[in-house]
Amino acid sequence: GLKKKEVNVLCLGLDNSGKTTIINQLKPSDSQAQDVVPTIGFSIEKFKTTSLSFTVFDMSGQGRYRNLWEHYYKEGQAIIFVIDSGDQLRMVVAKEELDTLLNHSDIMHRRIPILFFANKMDLRDAVSAVKVSQLLCLESIRDKPWHICASNAVKGEGLQEGVDWLQGTMA
């Protein structure tokens, strides 16, 4: 049959934002983990869409591991950046990490797509995806295609819309 195009994706964002939960939901049900635990270092995961075969570098967001991220930037052909929409206190930290990413020499001049998940929309004090994009100044990203989706990774809501966008921009 037709071989799907293989793409490497980096999944980034602060610890506890929901990266592993999102990737776990995108995997085929027979290879999904029963319970998600904080990532140590990083983990390599795979999932497929209709036209693409994704290899995901699911990075730990813990402060002590964030220095690992940049070693994988060169290999990344797309980025999934996850934000905990209910963690308003750390939104500024998320913005700092995003700005550091965007200004890195291995990312800066490449037109790689960035998919943002404004995750944990189910939390009572979650801010909207529009508000998240304002707080992170996403409108200032002009040299890369980007898209933001509200999501609830525990229920799997909003994930397909994001992955459809990513597939559309990479296929």
In 3D space, the residue among 156, 91, 83 whose CA is nearest the CA of residue 116 turns out to be 83
Q: According to the binding rule CB under 5 A, does residue 21 interact with Mg ion?
A: no
Q: State which of positions 128-157 bind ligand GTP (CB under 6 A).
A: 152-154
The verdict on whether 62 is a catalytic residue reads: yes
Under 8 Å between Cβ of 60 and 38: yes
Q: How far is the CB of 166 from ligand GTP (least distance, A)?
A: 18
Q: According to the binding rule CB under 6 A, does residue 20 interact with ligand GTP?
A: yes
| Residue stretches of the annotated binding site for GTP | 13-20, 61, 119-122
In angstroms and rounded to an integer, the radius of gyration of the C-alpha atoms of the chain is 15
> How far is 1 from 158, CA to CA, in rounded Å?
30
DSSP 167: H
> How far is 97 from 136, CA to CA, in rounded Å?
10
Under 8 Å between Cβ of 49 and 2: no
> How far is 35 from 126, CA to CA, in rounded Å?
23
Q: How far is the CB of 21 from ligand GTP (least distance, A)?
A: 3
Q: According to the binding rule CB under 5 A, does residue 119 interact with Mg ion?
A: no
Question: Considering beta carbons, is residue 19 or 147 the nearer one to Mg ion?
Answer: 19
Between 25 and 64, how does the x/- string for binding to ligand GTP read (CB under 6 A)?
-----------x-xx--------------------xxx--
> Residues in the site for ligand GTP, rule: CB under 6 A?
13, 15-21, 36, 38-39, 60-62, 82, 119-120, 122-123, 152-154
